[in-house]
Amino acid sequence: MLENWLMPQLNEDSNDYIFQQDGSSAHYKDVQGYLNQNLPQRWIGHTGKEDGALMQWPPWSPDLTPCDFFFWGFVKDTVFVPPLPANLQDLHNHITAAVALVDRDMLTRMWNEMDYHIDVCHVT
C-alpha cells in the first residue's frame, strides 16, 4: 500500500512533505528500508543507527501525533454510526465522506487543543 498507493498519491500532490512512521513492529523493518531509500531525511519515526530519518520519534505515541490524537477517532466516530457500511464500496464512500467533513476551522481547533495537550505532556 505504501509503495503502490500512498507514495504516488503524496508525490502527485506535492513533493514537499515529511512522512511520519508509526513504528508498528509488524511493518518496522520493511517500511524503514523503503523510507531510507525513497525519502532520506524526509521521514520521522522509530529509528536505528543506520537510518536516514530526519529525526527520531517514539513509536506508539498517540498522545503526540495529530492523526492519532484527532483524525482517526473523528473518522471512526463518523463512519461507524447507523446505518453501518454494508460492503467494501459503502465503507469507502463513508470514509471519503468523513474525510471531506474536515475543514480549516476544525483543524485549527485541533491544533490549538494539541498544543495544550503537548504542554500537559511536557509538564507531566
State the Cα–Cα distance between residues 114 and 70, nearest whole angstrom: 9
Q: What is the pLDDT of residue 117?
A: 76
- Nine cell digits for residue 79: 463512519
Let me know the angle formed at the C-alpha of 1 by 60 and 86, rounded to the nearest 5 degrees: 90
Domain boundaries, the chain: 2-56, 66-123
Distances (CA, A) of 85 to 41, 53, 76: 39, 38, 12
Block residue for cell numbers 511493518: 27
Q: What is the pLDDT of residue 81?
A: 92
Backbone angles phi, psi at 62, to 5 degrees: -65, -20
Whether omega before 83 lies within 30 degrees of 0, making that bond cis, reads: yes
Residue by residue, pLDDT tens for the chain (124 residues) are: 788 888 888 888 877 888 877 766 666 778 888 888 888 888 888 777 778 888 777 666 655 666 666 888 899 999 999 999 999 999 999 999 999 999 999 988 888 887 787 787 778 7
Give this prediction's pTM: 0.51
DSSP 124: -
